[in-house]
Amino acid sequence: DVKVTQSSRYLVKRTGEKVFLECVQDMDHENMFWYRQDPGLGLRLIYFSYDVKMKEKGDIPEGYSVSREKKERFSLILESASTNQTSMYLCASTGSGTGINEQFFGPGTRLTVL
């Protein structure tokens, strides 16, 4: 059973804290993504990575950074959390071979910044 896992389902942090969200996939996928989901806005891409140590900015990278030291793990870092980063964060992965290459998603982390 293929899987994308995220380190926490719910997280509460204080303004100014450094926050780490971890994502692990077991499908040997090259591509991994971090999205945030807000009501009425759908999923917005924060960063993605197409290989180890490679990263690309998405549509809303400000206030975030990422790390991909191993193929299976993609971390999202909030350097100094702010209340406007309160959101649902979704991690996804996809392969690059022939085929549909749909995105597989983790269960999400609901982050609240107080």
- Contact residues for another protein, defined by CB under 8 A: 31, 33, 35, 40-45, 48, 50, 58, 88, 90, 92, 94, 96, 100-105, 107-108, 110
Residue with tokens 């204080």: 14
CA distance from start to end of the chain: 36
Least spacing, CB of residue 67 vs another protein, in Å: 18
Give the distance, in angstroms, between the CA of residue 104 and the centroid of all CA atoms in the same chain.
12
| Residue whose C-alpha is closest to residue 54's, from 72, 68, 34 | 68
Q: How far apart are CA 106 and CA 24, in angstroms?
A: 9
62 vs 99, beta carbon nearer another protein: 99
Least spacing, CB of residue 26 vs another protein, in Å: 16
Give the distance, in angstroms, between the CA of residue 96 and the centroid of all CA atoms in the same chain.
18
18 vs 48, beta carbon nearer another protein: 48
35 vs 64, beta carbon nearer another protein: 35
Least spacing, CB of residue 82 vs another protein, in Å: 23
